[in-house]
Amino acid sequence: MIIIMEPNASEEQIQNVVNHVHSLGMRTVLNCGVIQTVIAAIGETPKYSTDQFEILDGVRKVERIQVPFKLVSRDSHHDDSVITVRNNIKFGGDNPPVIIAGPCSVENEENLIAIAKIAKECGAKMLRGGAFKPRTGPRMFEGLGKLGLQFLDVARKQTGLAVVTEIMDVRDLDLVCEFTDMLQIGARNMQNFTLLNEVGRADKPVLLKRGLSATIDEWLLAAERIMDKGNSKIILCERGIRTFDNKYTRNTADIAAIPVIKRLSHLPVIFDPSHATGKWNLVAPLAKAAVVAGAHGLIIEVHPDPEKALSDGAQTLNFDNFKLLCRELEKLVSVLSPVKS
């Protein structure tokens, strides 16, 4: 951490800052310029907020050198982490993008199995579907709960697809773990620290969606919390963020977040073109853009009759459009094989 003093800071103020840093168990190195003194604080700086130093008399600015997300950072693990789901599904590194498909909400067994069969036929490796749904309005369809999990289990057994479903409440952790291969932390819960702590103690891969208005640092710090508690099987998911313009898209698709995450972290990152756009006809172009940008996978909402879907119908692909997109993606992936420099 670098503490930049005001040009007119007194010797006493400089010494006071140095003493404060020492009192926290850190070392200091002073750079006394002609105009300003700069104090480097060395040690366990991530433990302390910059505010603690900024409020001291004579301090102009405090800057961190180290990223606050140590475990998920590439600084601590240089190579890409490959996260394996159910022994054979690999996210990350040079593995081809993994497709996850399914309805927004699990609605009934028949419909879910029909979707799962199409997903499998098109090359998807995982089935998505919410049994516990975070809904803005209290009287909207909130999912089938345990019954929904049981339908996911039936679909998983019939098709061999692995399952990912959202966990909203720590009290449901054991139940959800029993029926799923990967736990989804939804955008609205990205900063539910109790939930993050608990999935950090679970022995299941975690799909961590980016919060509606989370910065990249906040998102990586949420992943850091899960890893700090012992679970390093984390896959990040960009799903669009809130900006000033929601006239034509539900969210703003932050495609740049994909290469940014790949530079900052060793964890795999996938993209959700359904929630990122909110419009079914934008799903295919954005899905392809994300793959070109380096996404390690896609999570896509699919339903036989999107107009009848109990949630998120407007952003859901019907079977024909999903099949078409999968064929296009296959072609795209084949031309994107890495060029050795």
Name the site residues for ligand PEP (rule: CB under 6 A): 104, 130, 134, 186-188, 209, 239, 272, 275
Q: How far is the CB of 209 from ligand PEP (least distance, A)?
A: 4
Beta bridge partners of 88: none
What is the smallest separation between the CB atom of 210 and ligand PEP, expressed in angstroms?
Answer: 8
Handedness of CA 91, 92, 96, 98 (dihedral sign): positive
Question: 97 or 273, CB closer to Mn ion?
Answer: 273
189-197, 255-263, 309-317, 333-341 -> range binding Mn ion (CB under 5 A): 309-317
Q: Both ends of the chain: CA-CA distance in Å?
A: 36
Of 244, 267, 209, 252, which Cα lies nearest the Cα of 69? 267
Of these partners, Mn ion, ligand PEP, none, which one is at the site of residue 43 (CB under 5 to 8 Å by kind)? Answer: none
If binding is defined by CB under 5 A, does position 309 make contact with Mn ion? no
Residues 282, 272: Cα–Cα separation, whole Å? 12
If binding is defined by CB under 5 A, does position 142 make contact with Mn ion?
A: no
Name the β-bridge partners of 165. Answer: 183
Determine contact, residues 262/294, Cβ cutoff 8 Å: yes
- Which of Mn ion, ligand PEP, none binds 77 (CB below 5-8 Å, type-dependent)? none
- Binding partner at 239 among Mn ion, ligand PEP, none, C-beta below 5 to 8 Å by kind: ligand PEP
Closest CB 165 distance from ligand PEP, rounded Å: 9
How far is residue 182's CA from residue 176's CA, in Å, rounded to a whole number? 9
Q: State the amino acid at position 330 in one-letter form.
A: E
Q: Should residue 290 be labelled a site residue for Mn ion when binding is judged by CB under 5 A?
A: no
CB of 272 to ligand PEP, least distance (A): 6
Whole-angstrom distance, CA of residue 159 vs CA of residue 147: 18
249: Cβ contacts below 8 Å, ≥ 6 apart? 240, 276, 277, 278, 279, 282
Residue 312 lies near Mn ion (rule: CB under 5 A): yes
For residue 170, give Cα distances in angstroms to 153, 194, 236. Answer: 20, 7, 20
Q: Of the two residues 125 and 209, which places its CB atom closer to Mn ion in the complex?
A: 209
Note whether 104 binds Mn ion by CB under 5 A. Answer: yes
To ligand PEP, the closest distance from the beta carbon of 34 in angstroms equals 52
Residue 102 Cβ vs Mn ion, minimum distance, rounded to whole Å = 10
The nearer residue to ligand PEP, 58 or 148, going by C-beta atoms, is 148
What's phi and psi for 75, nearest 5 deg?
Answer: -65, -30
Q: Which is nearer to ligand PEP, 227 or 310 (CB)?
A: 310
